[in-house]
Structure 1
């Protein structure tokens, strides 16, 4: 039975979404094409009718996963994003979490297309975050960008380190808590300088003061 173009496209998107979750959970080298297609409900032979190579699927699935993180960051306050990112729930669910934290290390050894996708994702998250009213809010675009990159690198690294520890290790929670506290504190804008008090006006020039004791 011939598959319509619409159905073929839907099948492809399903494979991409399945791959996105599996790669985040097991890593790029931890998932073979046969296992991936079986998880998506298709035969191994159907893979090369949809994709030229596993590398092509890796790039598309990375874009799919990163788009989910970008969507969560859009309009979110920096504090809310950091709190959710450095939560135990995110740490314990790599298949549903940020692709940056799950596959950033793997991506550095992948094709140019995969790395370009990750670079685009970083830009997307930065653009989506609402930094207004935080210490990262600045009229200097370059300074604001540098601060945003620092925070993003900090949260990603914290999750990577926490996941590297055993699930029941106190250190896994300690890393998240310490980094969350530090980053949230860095987002609080410094107190504004107090406005100078209103000075009491002295005698007007040209008018002699009145000595009531005379």
Structure 2
């Protein structure tokens, strides 16, 4: 049977999209190829026409998730402090906390990514380095410790959302998000 032009790529994109959602909501280790393929109406046997292995798929999912998450790190604020406040408010938000299937892969897959280290680490290093450079440029100009502050802000962002998810439904969850935003902004002034 002959398929229309672009069918293979559309199928691949659907598989990546489904896996991204399933990995974030269920976890990588709790999601098999059968489940991913069934969620897009395909058989597990067809998986290998698109990917060499589950690790190959995981790499694609992480790359896609970071690309989608870049929207949380961009805004049109000219003022550096206002820009940082907006970025922190978007990232460390109830919405991001409550929708792990749509959020940053670091906050949902943090404990699982070391198990697929060889595939994922280069992607994570590239993305975290890129985010650090962006933050570093927007922090107080000329500060000697801007790189350290940028890295601390990234760690604060990821950790706060991950912890807030564990505590979701409690007052403490919201308090953690608010406290982390406040501390993150204060790091811009040092």
TM bracket, shorter-chain basis: 0.7 to 0.9
Q: Structure 1's 113 and 146: CA in aligned 2 closer, same or farther, altered over 3 A?
A: same
Deviation of 1:124 (Å): 2.8
Q: Which has the larger radius of gyration?
A: 1
Take 2:63 and 2:158, find their aligned partners in 1: how far apart are those partners?
17
Question: How far did residue 125 of structure 1 move?
Answer: 2.4
CA offsets 1:71-98 (integer angstroms, 9 cap, x no match): 4313562211111111111100000011
Q: 1:176 maps to which residue?
A: 177
- Runs of 4+ in structure 1 deviating by more than 3 angstroms, as ranges, are 127-132
Superposed CA deviations along residues 110-163 of structure 1, whole A, max 9, x for unmatched, are: 13121211112212323445853xxx22335x7322211110100100111111
Alignment correspondent of 1:42: 42
Q: Which residue number corresponds to residue 90 of structure 1?
A: 96
Contact 1:162 1:172 in 2 (8 A): yes
Instruction: Return the structure number with greater helix share.
Output: 2
TM-score, normalised to structure 1, is 0.78
The answer for unaligned runs of 5 or more in structure 1 is: 191-214
State which of 117, 124, 131 in structure 1 corresponds to 2:130. 124
In 2, the alpha carbon distance for the partners of 1:120 and 1:104 equals: 16
Root-mean-square deviation (CA, aligned residues, Å) is: 2.0
